[in-house]
Amino acid sequence: MVNKMVNRIRKELTERQGGVLKAIEGFVLEHGFAPTVRELAGLLGIPNPSAAFKHMVSLERKGYLRREGGELRLAGLPTAGENQVRVPLAGLVPAGSPRESFDVSGEAMDIPAWMVGRKRGNVFLIRVAGKSMIDAYIDDGDHVLLERTDAVNSGEMVVALLEDGSVTLKRLRKEDGKVFLMPENPAFQPIEVGGGKVLGRVIGVLRKY
For residue 40, the surrounding DSSP H or E stretch is helix 37-44
154 tagged catalytic = no
Cα separation, 109 vs 105, whole angstroms: 11
**Strand bridging mode 104-112 / 84-90:** antiparallel
Cα separations (Å) of 199 from 11, 42, 50, 69?
28, 24, 33, 26
Catalytic site residue from 22, 58, 97, 132: 132
Cα separation, 158 vs 152, whole angstroms: 8
3: Cβ contacts below 8 Å, ≥ 6 apart: 142, 205, 206, 207
**Strand bridging mode 104-112 / 157-161:** unpaired
Catalytic site residue from 4, 119, 170, 197: 170
97 tagged catalytic = no
**Cα 121 to chain centroid, rounded:** 10
At 77 the three-state DSSP class reads coil
Residues with catalytic roles: 132, 170
